[in-house]
Each structure stands twice: as C-alpha cells, then as structure tokens.
Structure 1
C-alpha cells in the first residue's frame, strides 16, 4: 500500500470538514429517512442512530482534531546498532486494510474512517442497515474529499452486504484484509470471531460494575452511580451492576436512599437475594446469567458483597472487561482493586462514563478494545499502526 505524505492526508481532512458543513442539510435529511424507517423497540439503538446539528459539529471536530495530530506512521520506536554493525530500526507502519463492523451510529462512519486514513490504512465500513441512508450520505462526503485531492475512493468505502454475504467475505475476502474490528454486542463479536480468517480486535460489550466499599463517601457513591447509569444509557461505558459492601454504616438506610434516588431517574431496579431482604419490593433475579448481561437501558442490578475480594471475584467472572469502578476513601484498597480487576479501564471515585477516547485525552476513537493484544482501551490514532523492522547492513551474513 502506498504511503501518503502527511500534507496530502491533512489536505483530505481539511476538505472533509468543509464538505461536512456544506452538506449538513443533506446529512440531516438522510438521517431523517433512517429514523422514520426504524421499526425496532431498542431505545439505545435508536438513540445511537440520531444525527442532529450537534452530532455533525462533533463529526467536524473529530476530523479537525485528527488533522492536527501528528502522523503516527514512520515513528521510530527503537534504533540500535549490533556488534556485527547491523543497524536495526523499529518503526510504526500501517496495518493495511481495516474492516470495521458496527451497528447504528453513523458518527462511526466519520470517526473510524478519519483515524484509519490518517494512519495510512484503507478502511471498509460495514454499518447496520438501520443507518443506511445516513452512512451513504457520509460516504459521499468522504469520496468527494478524496477525489478533490486526487485520491481513489477505495481508501474509504461502505460495504453493502447482508449477513450471509458478510460471512462469506470474512471466510474468503475478495481483497486483502489485515484487521477486523467488530463494534457491537456479544452476538456480533462471536459472529466475526467464528468466521474471520485474519486478526480480530474486539471492541467488547460493556456490562460495567461499580463496587461501593465500606470506606466509601456515600454521597460521592450515589452521585457517581447516578451519572454512570443515567447519563447515556446507550453508551458501552454505562453502568449495569452495583456491588455494595454489607458492612457500610447504616446499610439498610443507605440502600433505601439509593433506591429512592434511582427511582427519581426512572431506573428499573433488580436485586440479588441478599439485597431483596431489604429492598423487598424490587424484582429479585432468578437466574445468575443476568450478571453477564449488558442492559443498555435504564436498568440496574444491585448486589451485596462481604468485602473487596468478593467484589473483585464477581467482576472478573461476569463483567465485559470494559470498565469497573470502586468508591472508597482508602487509597490502598483502591489500588488493590484497580490492580486486580481485569478490565480495560479501572476507576477510583469516578464514573465509568469517562471510558471514551475524547474524555481520556486520546481524541477520536475507532472503538474501545477489550482485547489484550494489540492494544486495550480507546483505539485512537496512535493505536491504528503496527510496527516494522528496517535492518541496514553492509554485506553481513549469519554464521550459526
């Protein structure tokens, strides 16, 4: 794949910001078609589908932000000269062609493409059928920006495949494919991992947990729980499960206080058997399988634990390995929690809603990776490259 000069890539992105602004009305019109055609009852999916003026402003800001970031390609990672005078230089290099599969969110068509392109990768965008008109409008903007700068439309393009065709493509790609990023629920991820024949970087489900320690500031705990649960229910960084230490002072009273506060936000509560003895009016879970579930709704499961170790064990067994938080005023306890919980992001006295490229200082993100290879957490510009060794010699041969 040809390496593009940074100035050319930035010129495409500058053109894109202008084209998005010029085509604002057309993008909104296309999105209106998608919203009117939406037949499902999934509120989170519908929320992610919406494009308004603020979303377009955010798209423009994402492109502008990436344009101003340093080019991640060709950076020197290491440089050493060996005893045999071979000069070994390790540098960053593009992946090649990336396929991202995602549901709903048309803004992914902008954020994923801008990051992949700036990192000198081609990108194939497999959006959901529910966002087809929005995605086509945004693809036209990309193609206009590319062609204005003398580049092929092949750098960024949508794939229009049904489930069967997608399965066939994953098994036997009709073109080189170097990396697949499935961005969606457990079913989508399993589908891709089952059928893909190249590297897969999983952007996992949320199902995020928060543990309230016996050493917690209760007011702080309530504020964080409310924010993490209600700020944006469609976010993969939203809160689903709360574990409360039974040794908290005034435990019964505080549970009832939390219940009343959540009811103000119309949050549906589920409780485990132990908590049901106090919150007896709430629905008690009948099947432990629900601990694995990502709700994407105004729903919260509250469970009781005896201490830190039990909380860590439950989180590591059931969570989506995305984000987890502890509320405590004991810094040593917080450190133990953060070191032992197996998640991409761990928090002390803060909302899980901050697991986001922009919020964490990474900038625009392709996804939140819950894998451990090649990167974990927000996949920003600097994470969309691999590495390559350049070895310079003067006729050296190896003697075993």
Structure 2
C-alpha cells in the first residue's frame, strides 16, 4: 500500500474535524433513530450508543489528538552496521488492512478509523446493527474528508453484514486482511478466531478485580470501589469482583459498611460462603461461572481470601486479563501483586477506570488488548504498526 505523506493524512483529519463540528445536527438526528429503535433492556449497551454534543466534542478531541501525534510510520527502531559493512535498519511499517468488529459505540467508528488511517492502514469497520444510522453518517463524513483531499473511500469502509455474511467475509474477504480486532464478549472472539484467516488481536472481556489488603486505608478503598463499580457500568474497565483479606482489621464491620454503601448505590451483591457468614442477607455466588463473568451492570461479587497469594491465584484463574487493583499501604505487597497478577494493567490504590487510552496518555485507542502479542493494554497510534528491515549492501553475499 502506498505510503501517504504526514501532511496529507493530517489534512484529512482536519477536514474530518470540520465536518463533525459543522454537521452536528445530521449526526444527532441519525443517532436519534438508533436510540428510538433500541430496547433499553440492556442499559450498558444503550449508554454506549448515545451520541450527544459532549460525545461529539470528545470525538473531535480524539481526532485532533491523533492529528497532533507524531507519524508512527518510518520510525527507526534499530540501526546497525555489521563488520562486513552491511547496513541494517529496522523501521516501523503499516499493518496493511485492519478489520474491527464492535457493538453499539459510534465513537469507535471515529477512534478506530483515525488511528488506522494515521498509521497508514486501511480499515473495515464492522459496527453493530444497533448503531447503523450513526455509523453510516460518520463513515460518510470520513469519505467526504478523504475526497476533499484527493483520496478514495477505500481507506475507511463500513461493513453492514449479518452474522452469516460476516462469517463469509472472514473466510473470503474482498481484499487481504492483515489484522482483525474483535471488541466484545467470548462468543464474538471465538467466532472470529474460528473463521479468520489472519492474525487476531483480542480485546477481551473486563471482569476486573480489586483486592483489599489488611494495610489498606478504608476511606480510600471505599472511594476507589465506588468509582470503579458505579462511575460507568458499561465500560470494560469497570469493577466486577472484590476480594477482602480475612485479616483486615475490623473485618466484620468493614464488610457490613461496604455492603451498606454499595446497596445504597443500587448495586446487587453476590457473596461467597465465607463472606455470607457476615453478610447473611446476600445471595451466595451460585457457581464458578459467575467468577468468570463480566457484568456490565450494577452488580458485584464479594469474596474473602486468606492471603495475598490466594487473591493473586483467584484473580489469575477468573479475571479477563484486563485490570486488577490492590488496596494496600505496603509497597512490597503492591509490587508482589503487580508482578504476579496476569493482567494488562495492574494498580495500587487506584480505580480500574483509568485503563483507557486517553487517561493513560496514549490518546485515542482502537481497543484494550488482553492479548500478549504484539501489544497488551490500550492500542494507540504507536501500536498500530508492525516493522520492516531495510538492508543496504554493496554486492554482499553470505559465505
């Protein structure tokens, strides 16, 4: 694929900013159609679907931030000259063509496309049918921005396919796919892995854990739990599971305090058998499957563990590999937790809600990767590249 000059790419992004800003009414009208057609039974998905002026401002900010970032293509990773004079340079290069599959979030149509385009990739956007009107108008804006700068529509394309058509596309795409990013639940990820013919980078489930150590500051713990659990239930970085060390001072009183505070916020609780000895009115966690579950709702599990090692083991068995927090005033325990918990982001005394490209200084993100190759955590502009070796010789042969 032809490499585009940085100025040209940035001109497209500036055109997109102008189009979104001056055509707000058109976008809001399209989103209203999506909202009216959507059942509110799934509140988390409904929340993701909403576009208002604040969300449009956020989209514009995402595009502007990417526009201002350094072009990630052609950056030197390493350079060496061998003893025989052979010159070897490793540089960043585009993936080629990316496909992303996602549900109900029109802002992904902006963030995914802006990152892919600035990194000189083409992208297929397979958004959910619930956001079809919003996505169509946003991709129309993208096409106008491309055309205004002498580029065709092939860089950013919207796929409006049903399940069977998506399966057929994965098996026989209209052009070679180099990377697929499924953003969603286990069924979607397995579906893509089963049918894809190229690399798949998983943006997996959240199911994030918080462990309360005996040295934790209780007031800070409550503050962090409330933010992580109730600030935005539809986010993949929301909290689902709380583990409390049995040796926490005033263990019984603190459990009851936590119960009262969460219930006052409308959070449904499930507890393990040890915790239920104290929180007698709360239903017990019915089976192990619940420990694996990402709720995306005002719902939370509370469990009791005997030690830090027990907490680490439980998190590594059940979490989605996304984010985990330890509340402790012991730096030694924090480091032990952070080094041994197998998650993309690990925290001491902070909310899991910070696992976000913008909050972590990456800017716009394609997804939060829970894979280990080729990147883990927020997939920002610098992560949407691969590499290529440039070798310069003078008649060199290998003997």
Give the TM bin, normalised by the shorter chain.
over 0.9
The corresponding residue for 2:350 is 350
CA distance in 1, matches of 2:345, 2:78: 28
Instruction: Give how far 1:83 is off.
Output: 1.4
Correspondence for 1:212: 212
Q: Which runs of 5+ in 1 are unaligned?
A: none
For normalisation by structure 2, the TM-score amounts to 0.99
Match of 1:6 in 2: 6
Structural mapping, 1:118-137, within 5 Å = 118-137=118-137
Q: Compute the displacement of 1:174 (Å).
A: 2.2
Q: Aligned with 1:248: secondary structure?
A: coil
- Per-residue deviation, residues 41-69 of structure 1 (Å, max 9, x unmatched): 11101100000000000000000000000
Gaps of 5+ in 2: none
Deviation, structure 1 residue 391: 0.3
Distance in structure 2 (CA, Å) of the matches to 1:172 and 1:282: 51
Residues in 1 aligned to 2:81 and 2:302: alpha-carbon distance in whole angstroms: 58
Distance 1:40 1:196 in 2: 32
Structure 2 distance, partners of 1:268, 1:57, is 34
The aligned residue for residue 188 of structure 1 is 188
Shift of 1:171: 1.6
Cα deviation digits, residues 336-386 of structure 1 (max 9, x gap): 000000000000000000000000000000000000000000000000000
What residue number does 2:197 align with?
Answer: 197
1:91 to 2:84 alignment: no
Cross-structure match for 2:283: 283
Alpha-carbon distance, 1:40 to partner = 5.4
Determine the structure 2 residue equivalent to 1:363.
363
Residues 1:269 and 2:299 aligned together: no
Equivalent residue for 1:300? 300
Residues in 1 aligned to 2:187 and 2:223: alpha-carbon distance in whole angstroms: 33
Aligned to 1:15: 15
* CA offsets 1:241-290 (integer angstroms, 9 cap, x no match): 00000101110000000011111211111101110110010111121110
2: distance between equivalents of 1:311 and 1:5? 50
Find the aligned partners of 1:141 and 1:209 in 2 and give their Cα distance: 39
C-alpha RMSD of matched pairs (Å): 0.6
How far apart are residue 238 of structure 1 and its match? Answer: 0.1
> Where in structure 2 are the equivalents of 1:90-109 lying within 5 Å?
90-109=90-109
Q: Which residue of 2 aligns with 1:62?
A: 62
Separation in 2 of the partners of 1:304 and 1:78? 49
Within the alignment, does 1:150 sit opposite 2:150 as a pair? yes
> 1: CA distance between counterparts of 2:67 and 2:337?
38
Give CA deviations for 1:91-139 in whole Å, capped at 9, x if unaligned.
0000000000000000000000000000000000000000000000101
Q: Report the number of matched residues.
A: 399
Q: Stretches of 4+ moved more than 2 A in 1?
A: none
Please state whether the residue corresponding to 2:365 is helix, strand or coil: coil
